[in-house]
A and B are shown apart, each in its own frame.
Chain A
């Protein structure tokens, strides 16, 4: 539904985005990852039409991005902000009217959301009287109220306590089930693994990785396993596996094995079984966090 093609954004002295392209499929949750200053916010600002790219194009449902699409995009910026002296209800109403909703419909939806997120009595409170977490909730409602097709959330969970973070996460999943497409920009890799279908990793203005979370993780598997066993037996490398690491944990021993090409875990186990008492076998799957660090560090050393 969203195609970003060869975007270049140049600021006075540095290039924030260099020939970045990516595809966001309809109904998916897309993770936009990258270290600070990589160019994520620049890209989001182009998609939300806050700024324009120097070259390259963005297509929304096959159409070149234009002002008509503003009402179909919801954006929660990383730096949250509301008018401090304005009443909550009035404020959300104002923001949704700016997105093109009429008063009656907007009011109806605000009441629905306020009820749903347990903030019924907040209508005439002022922002400055709310806690940070409460303000975040208000802002989340303002972001999704006009039922946008594409919702862009920049660090959506920062500032939420675990309980509220969970509430918001469930709302995101529900909206997604009902057809909304999401773009997440975040550093929190656990939420990426939990929620995202696809990701793109941006570092130093370039896209350095993209694909589905499953594919990417699979491509980073290295046929490595942790084996925990009991028994007085030193495991050594052979033609089935190499031993990378050995550790003693209380009475047990922990070894990290890497299988050789075309070997399976079963073969390794059958070699071990006669000698030791196996307690556990885990495949070492890299977390998104590991991949993130490896990719970014690798590039930074170049």
Chain B
């Protein structure tokens, strides 16, 4: 037992002390926060600030309604022919020319948009949307609806989703926020299992190629060495995770106090205190620096039991990591170098990738469906599927069952891997096949 502790210690400290670990740990939250902040900023700004001026050249007599200038596009009707307008485009104060030829309202064809620059997708979509709206308005008017009635039709609908808990209490929830957290948790889980699983494999290969393995095995049992490595690296993962939480909190607090005025800070801080969700993912805290629509998300986050989600995340990270890293250790023991790992990596990667892809598509769309249920039960996919389902709420019995299956699953893979590992680490110079690994598995002692 003492020996396992020594091995865990070495595996842990040799990694934590590495420069790359320190850099990764401190930089990753900053990077992620930064990237999201930039994306958020530009998307937000893009929605608000894009301003294109479009000159409308209309040869159309059927369409009597005029395009109205709105937030994004300034429409100016000009009295020039298309040719004149095209010639003038360099000097004139419009960027695009919208040409409306003669068409019937039922089949508007031949509309063209000219510009010195290629019109982007969003402009294209907006202009066509505006025209569609225009035609609809005109048709409605022709069928006898007045402008004032039309104005009354315009309503903004904002659905606030509430979930009725087992106790009967209504919980504030937001489909948007849940999906956001589900995605982040799924991506993080996938990254963590991959990253640390592969570290285990590398560690095993390193011991094998540097030939220290024989010295080690004359002092400790192969199983102790394997478990020591797996547990040591798991602790590295947890350390990194915890540091990220702390750092993210620190960064977001600092950022919030820098960029947002004081009243907002109070509000956000309150929301944070309630939710702590920001801890689960660095991206949220980046978002927290921008109040406004994101503030709404934060409010609804308060309805989620974030503490529970974080705990479940940690459990499934450890379970999923143990499940997969044992397989990675077995692969590492069977090969002489990293280049040989490919044929064995495929069958291990595939279920993980499948779980990842399905979790982020099928499960987020229908978190209570059959597919979601089975994905979150099978230990190959459950770590990702379950954390993706968590924000939407999972019945306790399902959670307990999934945890139990995962524990049984990793005990199984650790056992199988241990049997392959003890033989594999002493095998050199032979190209290993699955058949051979199966034989190793069956060797007695």
> What B residues does A97 contact at CB under 8 A?
6
Q: Mark A69-87, 1 if CB is under 8 A from B, else 0.
A: 0100101010111111110
Cα of A84 to Cα of B63 in the assembled complex, Å = 79
Is B210 positioned at the interface, with any CB of A under 8 Å from its CB?
yes
Name 9 extra pairs, CB < 8 A, besides A50-B426, A51-B426, A84-B206: A45-B426, A48-B218, A77-B214, A79-B214, A80-B211, A82-B210, A94-B10, A97-B6, A139-B215
For chain B, the count of residues having a C-beta within 8 Å of the partner chain is: 21
Cα of A86 to Cα of B218 in the assembled complex, Å = 20
When A81-B213, A85-B14 are in contact, do A94 and B6 touch as well, CB less than 8 Å?
A: yes
Is A99 positioned at the interface, with any CB of B under 8 Å from its CB?
yes
Is B141 positioned at the interface, with any CB of A under 8 Å from its CB?
no
Within 8 A of B (CB), among A130-157: 139, 142
- Contact yes or no, B439 A75, CB < 8 A: no
Cα of A83 to Cα of B15 in the assembled complex, Å = 13
Is A95 positioned at the interface, with any CB of B under 8 Å from its CB?
yes
Within 8 A of A (CB), among B397-445: 426, 439, 445
- Contact yes or no, A79 B10, CB < 8 A: no
Q: List 29 A-B contacts (CB under 8 A).
A: A45-B426, A50-B217, A50-B218, A52-B445, A70-B218, A73-B218, A75-B214, A75-B215, A77-B211, A77-B214, A77-B218, A79-B214, A81-B207, A81-B210, A81-B211, A81-B212, A81-B214, A81-B215, A82-B210, A82-B212, A83-B207, A83-B210, A84-B206, A94-B6, A94-B10, A98-B216, A98-B220, A99-B219, A139-B215
- Contact yes or no, B219 A98, CB < 8 A: yes
Is A12 positioned at the interface, with any CB of B under 8 Å from its CB?
yes
Cα of A97 to Cα of B6 in the assembled complex, Å = 8
Within 8 A of A (CB), among B195-216: 206-207, 210-216
Cα of A79 to Cα of B429 in the assembled complex, Å = 13
Is B80 positioned at the interface, with any CB of A under 8 Å from its CB?
no
Is B66 positioned at the interface, with any CB of A under 8 Å from its CB?
no
Find the residue from B7, B210, B219, B439 having the highest chain A CB count within 10 A: B219
When A12-B439, A52-B445, A97-B6 are in contact, do A70 and B212 touch as well, CB less than 8 Å?
A: no
- Contact yes or no, B211 A79, CB < 8 A: yes
Number of A-B contacts (CB under 8 A): 56
- Contact yes or no, B217 A98, CB < 8 A: no
> What A residues does B6 contact at CB under 8 A?
94, 97-98
Q: In angstroms, how far is the closest chain A Cβ from the Cβ of B204?
A: 13
Q: In angstroms, how far is the closest chain A Cβ from the Cβ of B441?
A: 13
Q: Which B residues contact A (CB, under 8 angstroms)?
A: 3, 6-7, 10, 14, 206-207, 210-220, 426, 439, 445
> What A residues does B214 contact at CB under 8 A?
50, 75, 77, 79, 81
> What A residues does B217 contact at CB under 8 A?
50
Cα of A264 to Cα of B298 in the assembled complex, Å = 108
When A82-B210, A98-B3, A98-B6 are in contact, do A49 and B215 touch as well, CB less than 8 Å?
A: no
- Contact yes or no, B219 A95, CB < 8 A: yes
Residue of A nearest to B422 (CB): A51
Cα of A33 to Cα of B44 in the assembled complex, Å = 78
Cα of A187 to Cα of B332 in the assembled complex, Å = 32
> What A residues does B219 contact at CB under 8 A?
70, 95, 98-99
- Contact yes or no, B14 A86, CB < 8 A: yes
> What A residues does B218 contact at CB under 8 A?
48-50, 70, 73, 75, 77
Cα of A128 to Cα of B220 in the assembled complex, Å = 24
Q: In angstroms, how far is the closest chain B Cβ from the Cβ of A281?
A: 49
> What B residues does A95 contact at CB under 8 A?
215, 219
Cα of A82 to Cα of B215 in the assembled complex, Å = 9
Q: In angstroms, how far is the closest chain B Cβ from the Cβ of A189?
A: 25
Cα of A83 to Cα of B202 in the assembled complex, Å = 13
Q: In angstroms, how far is the closest chain B Cβ from the Cβ of A129?
A: 14
- Contact yes or no, A77 B215, CB < 8 A: yes
Within 8 A of B (CB), among A4-22: 12
Cα of A142 to Cα of B218 in the assembled complex, Å = 12
Residue of B nearest to A99 (CB): B219
Q: Mark A28-49, 1 if CB is under 8 A from B, else 0.
A: 0000000000000000010011
> What A residues does B212 contact at CB under 8 A?
81-83
Q: Which 9 A-B pairs have the closest CB atoms?
A: A81-B211, A81-B212, A77-B214, A48-B218, A79-B211, A98-B219, A75-B218, A81-B210, A52-B445
Q: In angstroms, how far is the closest chain B Cβ from the Cβ of A114?
A: 18
Cα of A98 to Cα of B213 in the assembled complex, Å = 13
Q: In angstroms, how far is the closest chain A Cβ from the Cβ of B2?
A: 8
Cα of A84 to Cα of B202 in the assembled complex, Å = 13
Cα of A142 to Cα of B215 in the assembled complex, Å = 9
> What A residues does B14 contact at CB under 8 A?
83, 85-86
Residue of B nearest to A70 (CB): B219
Cα of A95 to Cα of B212 in the assembled complex, Å = 10
Q: In angstroms, how far is the closest chain B Cβ from the Cβ of A28?
A: 21
Cα of A97 to Cα of B207 in the assembled complex, Å = 18
Cα of A122 to Cα of B220 in the assembled complex, Å = 26
Q: In angstroms, how far is the closest chain A Cβ from the Cβ of B105?
A: 75
Find the residue from B210, B213, B216, B439 having the highest chain A CB count within 10 A: B210
Cα of A97 to Cα of B211 in the assembled complex, Å = 19
Cα of A135 to Cα of B439 in the assembled complex, Å = 36
Cα of A95 to Cα of B6 in the assembled complex, Å = 10
Cα of A142 to Cα of B206 in the assembled complex, Å = 19
> What B residues does A75 contact at CB under 8 A?
214-215, 218
> What B residues does A50 contact at CB under 8 A?
214, 217-218, 426
Find the residue from B14, B213, B218 having the highest chain A CB count within 10 A: B218
Q: In angstroms, how far is the closest chain A Cβ from the Cβ of B412?
A: 24
Q: In angstroms, how far is the closest chain A Cβ from the Cβ of B123?
A: 55
Residue of B nearest to A84 (CB): B210
> What A residues does B211 contact at CB under 8 A?
77, 79-81
